[in-house]
Structure 1
Amino acid sequence: MTLKTTLTAVAAALAVTTGIAAIPVSAHSHKAAAAASPNIVEVAMSTGVHNTLVAAVKAAGLVDTLSSPGPFTVFAPTDTAFAKLPAGTVATLVKPENKGTLTKILTYHAVPGKVTAADLTALINKHGGKATITTVAGEKLTARLSGETIVITDAKGGATAVTQADVMTSNGVVHVTDGVFLPA
């Protein structure tokens, strides 16, 4: 099964379990959007604060996937967020022999479909203050509000704030985070 097929299957499952469906993008509207705005990878490359994320995406071989039409929602840790990991973690993860682990971590930061902060907030409110979302990696994240800030809790119990929401791209949306999600 290819990653693209897996993403499609996860998008369908996400729509059923959370009520958030992927927003279809026609080929024509995607071409127009692509001309008007950069894709997820191009946005990450242009920020100056996602260099570690871009290097990890390249090492995992996910550039083509995250440059494809999508749509995807990506929770994008900054370089500062990666720096909070134990010393040597990133250097170890980007080694070719750790590609599987790196891919799992990176796909744990992606959700199929275009999920805006308003969509996520509505889902949190609908489910009594917290919402569980399924990532491309097939694992769960829990979202809640702390004041007006969306906070995501990963499988290891780490809480990460969305520091900048709704960075729109031609193939989805990016939410900048101050931490790295760690799968189970």
Structure 2
Amino acid sequence: MKDLLKCQLAILLTLLFFNFGQSQEVAMAIVPRITHIDSEHSIAKGARESGIHNTLSKAIKVAKLEEILDNDGAFTFFAPSDEAFKKFPQEKLKSLIKSENIKELRALLTYHIVAGNFSASKILSALCRGNGVATFTTLQGTKITATIDGVDIVLTDGHGNSAKITKADTNQCNGVIHVIDSVIKPSKVALP
């Protein structure tokens, strides 16, 4: 019940900010840094040009996911930043980036992508409907769980690892990017 009240309050304050011009500090407390809308860029191009997704952009290219993430559709990409990849085991990352490991790399990356355009407010709404818990099926085929921790939206993988959304709602022509602070891992793929 307490989580449901937190969700409702978060949504209410978010709506107040967007509808009544409240200060950015209020929005920052509810939804991690909201960024711009760029209807000219796809998710792949937005990640390439963000300045904080260099490792991710290289992995997208090696995994041959550029075509998917450049096309129409509606995708939500929980995109690990370069800082998030620094936390990932570096030997495993170097191994994944090799073209002979494309299947494993694709599984890891598609675990960060959900079909549909889920803005932070839609995720908060799902959390409210689920009494503080929402699950999303990834393109990889398994689920990630979203919860709320204070004012943060937290994603948890099948191994219990978590990632916090640090920058929300970078809208692109084919979906939305939410920056996360850790790499999450699908349970069907043997990753450290």
- Corresponding residue of 2:72: 69
* TM-score, L = length of structure 2: 0.76
RMSD: 1.4
Q: What 5-or-longer segments of structure 2 have no aligned partner?
A: 1-37, 188-192
- The alpha-carbon deviation at position 37 of structure 1 amounts to 2.5
Q: Which whole-Å CA distance do the structure 2 matches of 1:79 and 1:87 have between them? A: 12
Residue equivalent to 1:154: 157
Question: Do the aligned residues in 1 keep the contact of 2:39 with 2:172 (CA within 8 Å)?
Answer: no
Computing the radius of gyration from Cα coordinates, the structure with the larger value is 2
Matched, 1:58 2:53: no
Q: Which has the higher contact order (CA 8 A, sep 6+)?
A: 2
Q: 2: distance between equivalents of 1:76 and 1:104?
A: 14
Instruction: Name the residue aligned to 1:171.
Output: 174
Whether 1:105 and 2:82 are equivalent positions in the alignment is: no
Say whether the 8 Å CA contact 2:167–2:180 is kept in structure 1: yes
Letter in 1 for 2:129: K
TM-score of the two chains, using structure 1 as the length reference: 0.79
CA distance in 2, matches of 1:86, 1:69: 33
CA-CA distance at 1:89 after TM superposition: 1.6
Structure 2 letter corresponding to 1:129 = G
Give a deviation string over 1:143-173, Cα, whole Å, max 9, x none: 0111221000011110100000110001000
Aligned length: 151
Q: Which residue does the alignment assign to 2:92?
A: 89
Shift in Å at residue 36 of structure 1? 4.0
User: In the alignment, is residue 126 of structure 1 matched against residue 129 of structure 2?
Assistant: yes
- Alignment partner, residue 29 of structure 1: none
**Cα distance per residue 1:26-75 (max 9 Å; x no partner):** xxxxxxxxx94311011111111100000000000000000000110000
Paired position in structure 2 for 1:116? 119
Deviation at 1:176, TM superposition (A): 0.3
User: How many angstroms apart in 1 are the aligned matches of 2:39 and 2:80?
Assistant: 25
1:177 is displaced (CA, Å) by: 0.3
SS in 1 for 2:90: coil
Q: How much has 1:87 moved relative to structure 2? A: 2.5
Aligned to 1:138: 141
Structure 1 moving runs of 4+ over 4 Å? none
Moved more, 125-134 or 35-44: 35-44
